[in-house]
């Protein structure tokens, strides 16, 4: 693939902009400076640098982000900064066939919810992770206002009725950690589901943190606001 096409596919601007970056000496590929925009490279395992920043070629982008509190999972936030401002421009500008450009959040977390958030430009991956048919477990660490008891835990496991669905909604697992903390596992993602389930048993969520999706844990060294590429092992941990 021509180098200008590689940069274009990775979100570095239009083909003309990408050609200019190369011709003006801003790009190295496979460890060597390149000024010929039409130079061909094999994309497998290719790493290139733009203005000294190294990038791996990714046919599709798969990321994890440690979402901090006070951010919205929207490109047009209403009251808080967007999570997309935490990503470098190329990830926000990756071209797609549809109208939307760049990576998208796989589901959403409320502005005051922290923790593991996946982002990608792979529409099939988004559908697979969000579809209730695949029962991808999502684990939340929940701090509540009032003391918890086994009766509340039993109700969460047995099912509670939310106001928009007559069918009981159940937690796949629920573990009492401390007097006001529990670990809750869900396999579907309704609007404000954790908060509404906790309210249905007579309590209130004070803090909410997503620690795991599938078998993928939020790494302890990934600080709030930081992101990283998903490895092959990470993607395998997300497989059903």
Catalytic annotation present for 122: no
3-class SS string, the chain: CEHHHHHHHCCCCCHHHHHHHHHCCCEEECCEECCCCCCECCCCCCEEEECCEEEECCCCCEEEEEECCCCECCCCCCCCCEHHHHCCHHHHHCCCCCCCCCCEECCCCCCCEEEEEEEECCHHHHHHHHCHHHCCCEEEEEEECCCCCHHHHHHHHHCEEECCEEEEECCCEEEEEECCEEEEEECCCCCCHHHHHHHHCCCCEEEEEEEEECCEECCCCCCCCCEEECCHHHHHHHCC
From 51, 110, 149, 164, active-site residue? 110
Distance CA 129, CA 158 (A): 24
Q: Among all residues, which ones are annotated catalytic? A: 110
């Amino acid at each position: 693939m021509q180098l200008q096409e590689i940069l274009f596919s990775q979100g570095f601007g239009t083909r003309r902009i990408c050609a200019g970056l190369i011709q003006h000496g801003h790009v190295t590929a496979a460890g060597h400076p390149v000024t010929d925009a039409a130079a061909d490279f094999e994309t497998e395992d290719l790493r290139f640098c733009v203005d000294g920043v190294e990038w791996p070629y990714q046919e599709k982008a798969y990321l994890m982000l440690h979402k901090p509190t006070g951010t919205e999972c929207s490109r047009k936030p209403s009251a808080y900064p967007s999570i997309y401002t935490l990503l470098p421009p190329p990830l926000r500008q990756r071209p797609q066939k549809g109208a939307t450009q760049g990576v998208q959040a796989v589901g959403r977390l409320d502005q005051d919810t922290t923790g593991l958030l996946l982002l990608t430009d792979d529409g099939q991956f988004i559908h697979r992770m969000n579809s209730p048919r695949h029962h991808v477990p999502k684990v939340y660490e929940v701090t509540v206002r009032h003391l918890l008891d086994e009766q509340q835990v039993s109700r969460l496991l047995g099912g509670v009725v939310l106001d928009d669905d007559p069918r009981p909604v159940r937690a796949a697992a629920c573990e009492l950690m401390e007097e006001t903390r529990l670990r809750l596992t869900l396999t579907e993602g309704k609007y404000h589901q954790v908060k509404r389930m906790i309210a249905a048993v007579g309590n209130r969520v004070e803090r909410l943190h997503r620690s795991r999706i599938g078998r993928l844990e939020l790494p302890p060294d990934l600080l709030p606001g930081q992101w990283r590429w998903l490895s092959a092992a990470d993607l395998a941990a997300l497989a059903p």
